[in-house]
C-alpha cells in the first residue's frame, strides 16, 4: 500500500475514512454551529475553540509531517456550517499569485475534516486526481462549473473522515437541493522551507498571538513552533 505521502504526491490527495474520533467530531460540529450563530459570514477558525485545541493535537501534526516533513508551519484555517446547499465549482487553493511551480518545497497541504461526513444529501467532495501537476492559475478550473468526468472521484464518507489535499489539486462541491448541514474544516500548512508565500489577510498578527491563547505549556510550545516567523 502506498504511504500517505506517496498518495498525495502521485494523486494529489489521500483519504482517511472515519479517522477523527467521535468526541472530536461532536466538539467540532458544536463549534461550527456556534460560529454560524455568532459570525455566519466569517470562515476564519482561529483563535476560537475547539479549533485551536485540534490544531495542536499530536495525531494531526503527525499526519502533516508525514507529507511535509519535520517542522511544518501553520498557514491558515477556515471552515463553516453550510445549510443552503450551495455548491462551489471546480477550483484549486494554491495560495499564491502564480501557479504552483512544481517545487516540493512550495507545497501547501490542506487537512480537510468532515466531522458529520460527506453524503449525497449534504454535498460530496469531488476530486480530479493528478491535476495538481497541471500548474494553472487558481481560478482556471472555474470554467468547468460542476461538470464531472469519468476519472473524477466523488467522495462520500462517514463522520470524522479526513482528506489530505495538495493545494493545487482541482476539486469542487456540487450543489445540493437538500438542506442537511454540511460541516467542513480546512487546516492548511506549508513545509519548513525558504519559499515566498503570501500571508492570509488578518493572519500576520494572529500567528504571533495564537500561542498566548492556550494555557497549557506543551500546547503553547507546539503553537509557537507552528506559528514561528513565516518567510513571507
Q: Which residues contact 32 (CB under 8 A, 6 or more apart)?
A: 79, 80, 81, 115, 183, 185
pLDDT band at 198 (very low <50, low <70, confident <90, very high): low
pLDDT score recorded for residue 197: 65
Predicted local distance difference test score (pLDDT) of residue 102 = 83
Domain extents in the chain: 4-226
pLDDT at 231 over 90: no
User: What grid cell was written down for 179?
Assistant: 438542506
pTM above 0.85, yes or no: yes
The average pLDDT across 25-38 equals 96
Query: Strands across the sheet with 125-128, in order?
Result: 88-91, 170-173, 125-128, 153-155
Does residue 193 have a pLDDT over 80?
no
**What does the alpha-carbon distance between residue 15 and residue 36 come to, in Å, rounded to a whole number?**
27
How does DSSP assign 51-105, residue by residue?
HHHHHT-HHHHHHHHHHH-SS-EEEEEEEEEE-S---EEEE----SSS---S-GG
Candidate from 15-19, 23-27, 33-37, 225-229 with smallest mean pLDDT = 225-229
Q: How confident is the model at residue 230 (pLDDT cuts 50, 70, 90)?
A: low
The per-residue pLDDT for 120 is: 86
pLDDT above 50: residue 20? yes
Average pLDDT of 36-46? 91
Instruction: Average the pLDDT over 6-22 and give the result.
Output: 96
Q: What pLDDT is recorded for position 232?
A: 44
pLDDT at 229 over 80: no
pLDDT of residue 98: 78
pLDDT digits (tens, 9 = 90+) for 68-125: 999 999 999 999 999 888 899 999 998 777 788 888 878 899 999 999 999 888 889 9
CATH for the stretch 4-226:
2.60.120.620
Between residues 105 and 199, the one the model is more confident about: 105
Summarised one tens digit per residue, pLDDT across range 115-165 is: 999 988 888 999 999 999 998 988 899 999 999 999 999 999 999 999 999
Amino acid at each position: 500500500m502506498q504511504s500517505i505521502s506517496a498518495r498525495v504526491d502521485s494523486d494529489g490527495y489521500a483519504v482517511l475514512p472515519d479517522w477523527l474520533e467521535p468526541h472530536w467530531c461532536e466538539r467540532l460540529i458544536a463549534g461550527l454551529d456556534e460560529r454560524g450563530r455568532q459570525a455566519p459570514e466569517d470562515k476564519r477558525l482561529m483563535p476560537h475553540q475547539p479549533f485551536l485545541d485540534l490544531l495542536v493535537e499530536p495525531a494531526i501534526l503527525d499526519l502533516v509531517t508525514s507529507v511535509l516533513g519535520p517542522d511544518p508551519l501553520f498557514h491558515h484555517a477556515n471552515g463553516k456550517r453550510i445549510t443552503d446547499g450551495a455548491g462551489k465549482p471546480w477550483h484549486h487553493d494554491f495560495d499564491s499569485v502564480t501557479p504552483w511551480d512544481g517545487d516540493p518545497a512550495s507545497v501547501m497541504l490542506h487537512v480537510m475534516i468532515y466531522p458529520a461526513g460527506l453524503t449525497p444529501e449534504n454535498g460530496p467532495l469531488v476530486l480530479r486526481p493528478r491535476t495538481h501537476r497541471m500548474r494553472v492559475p487558481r481560478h482556471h478550473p472555474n470554467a468547468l462549473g460542476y461538470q464531472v468526468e469519468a476519472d473524477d472521484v466523488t467522495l462520500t464518507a462517514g463522520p470524522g473522515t479526513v482528506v489530505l489535499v495538495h493545494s493545487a489539486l482541482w476539486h469542487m462541491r456540487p450543489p445540493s437541493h437538500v438542506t442537511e448541514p454540511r460541516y467542513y474544516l480546512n487546516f492548511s500548512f506549508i513545509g519548513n522551507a525558504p519559499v515566498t508565500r503570501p500571508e492570509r489577510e488578518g493572519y500576520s498578527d494572529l500567528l504571533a498571538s495564537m500561542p498566548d491563547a492556550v494555557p497549557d505549556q506543551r500546547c503553547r510550545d507546539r503553537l509557537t513552533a507552528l506559528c514561528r516567523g513565516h518567510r513571507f
